[in-house]
Chains A and B, each alone.
Chain A
């Protein structure tokens, strides 16, 4: 995992696990690069989740853990998408961790 990514002339710093050090560094371009580090090419289906996560964070100041993420997606995007399997298909084995990273949210609480 690289400790920084270059966006135009800007260098954006990441922590050892690839999360943004400064949440305000996030942009859609940054999201694309963060996803690339995870081996993910962002599609429309990813973006709808990224936007959902960002508006959730703006309101609740919380990165949802897996179970809450599934329920959030179920409530906002319907039962077809509100499933672990769907989210794992998009973001891999730990969808809460990876989607929070790409969406520019803090790492979900490590106590959980």
Chain B
């Protein structure tokens, strides 16, 4: 294992959808690597098209990487704080139980490992993290 001299708190912001650009995959590998090196994730923040990384309604071929599932596993295993921007999410059909009830939609698409919240969570992350990195 790579010896980390100091422990740094990162916030990783994902701006792009998986399967559209490489950005989400890069963000995933970066997040995994920083954890392996003993650093911390203060928060993952999915913004704009990045919210598509948190859809649980995703199907890919057996020989393709399921990025949503990869994120899910990483978030749950490492108990990461994963936030999806509400204004980005609901207009792209990423809906949790509360939004589903509020807008009477009858369906939920957000993976249970992430939560929908406001942009204030991104600002909070800029205040409380040592580094903010954006992938888009």
Contact = CB atoms under 8 A, between A and B. Distances in A.
Interface of A: 15-17, 109-112
Consensus secondary structure, chain B interface = mixed
Contact of B85 (A15, A16, A17, A111): A111
A111 B102 contact: no
A16 B86 contact: no
B105 to A, nearest CB: 12
The 6 A-B residue pairs whose C-beta atoms are closest, nearest first, are A111-B119, A111-B87, A111-B118, A110-B86, A16-B102, A111-B86
Contacts of B102: 16-17
B3 interface: no
B106 interface: no
Interface of B: 85-87, 102-104, 118-120
Contacts of B120: 111-112
11 contacts: A15-B103, A16-B102, A16-B104, A109-B87, A110-B87, A110-B118, A111-B85, A111-B87, A111-B119, A111-B120, A112-B120
Contacts of B118: 110-112
Contacts of A111: 85-87, 118-120
A112 to B, nearest CB: 7
Most buried by B among A16, A109, A111, A112: A111
A19 B70 CA distance: 39
B37 to A, nearest CB: 32
Contacts of B119: 111-112
A15 B118 CA distance: 20
A15 B119 CA distance: 23
A110 B120 CA distance: 10
